[in-house]
A and B are shown apart, each in its own frame.
Chain A
Amino acid sequence: MPRTRREGPEPDDFLPLPRDTFDVLVSLADRDRHGYAILQDIAERTDGRIRLSPSTLYAVIKRLLESELIEELSERPDPAHDDERRRYYRLTPFGRRVAESEAARLTRLLADAKASGLMPRKG
């Protein structure tokens, strides 16, 4: 059987994702956001434990844009209530697959930890 040539990268090629990268993807999973909204969302989800600096955030955003895991929106989702100077970002379908693969990987790791007695089992 002839080997088929791969067209592009597969989601697994990106795993494991760095923590900051995964946080940004998770933040964009439910809605499009601009940079500061991403920071706020990450800070809220982690109870303020993770507060990315602007340079860290945009280094991650640049990598994600180049890998086509996210895209910059040409239109603003909520023109009435935002700053027109801001750029909004959206998860691409491929970016969603990568985030899902990472979530599945973390779930398997957690299951392994529970099975080995590192974590208490519920019930």
Chain B
Amino acid sequence: MPVTRVERRARRLFGAVLHLYPGSYRDEYGREMTLVLLDRLRGERNAAARVVVLFAAVASVFADAPKQHAFLLAQDLRLARRLIRRERWFATVAIGTVALGIALPTAVFSAGKSLLVDALPYREAERAAMAWVTNPRQGRDRDVTSYPRLLSGCSSPA
């Protein structure tokens, strides 16, 4: 049977919409679904009816595709649960490794960000300054001092 222009367009549109399905489902049933749609289009007498059939088929894919994704996800989760139960030690080590792999970079990033990037958690933090004192007795140009000494104007340790 010759393929009409309408059929080519329908095939193209429906083929694009089929990408909403999971790949495995599309590979298994996509071609058959397209054939059935083309058969239905050939069975309609006028263009308006064909348009209705085409859009109903497209809408149906939009409704069904999320269900197939959810079904596959549930299937994968069931399989994972079975494997975890069967290989407990392996699963524990694998899950622990993944947990450490996520937790360590997260902790390093959090600490680095708060120390190096974020502003200090004080009001007018940009005015904060570091005070040094000279300590000739010990030969230090920059030495720390206590707050009371700093206030009393003492610039070197006793």
What is the interface of chain A, defined by CB distance below 8 A to chain B? Answer: 35-36, 39, 51, 53-59, 61-62, 83, 85-87
Contacts and interface: CB of A to CB of B under 8 A. Distances in A.
B16 to A, nearest CB: 14
A53 B31 contact: no
A83 B1 CA distance: 11
A53 B32 contact: no
Contacts of B56: 53
Interface stretch (B60-68, B85-93, B125-133): B60-68
Interface size class, chain B: 20 to 34
B36 A59 contact: no
Interface string B49-66: 000000011001101110
B61 A55 contact: yes
B49 to A, nearest CB: 11
The SS class assigned to the A binding surface is helix
B27 interface: no
A14 B40 CA distance: 30
Given A54-B32, A56-B60, 20 more contacts: A35-B32, A35-B33, A35-B36, A36-B35, A36-B39, A39-B39, A53-B57, A54-B33, A54-B36, A54-B37, A54-B60, A55-B33, A55-B60, A55-B64, A56-B64, A58-B33, A59-B68, A62-B28, A83-B35, A86-B32
Contacts of A59: 64, 67-68
B29 A62 contact: yes
A36 B63 CA distance: 21
Contacts of B57: 53-55
B10 to A, nearest CB: 11
A57 B35 contact: no
B60 A58 contact: no
A92 to B, nearest CB: 19
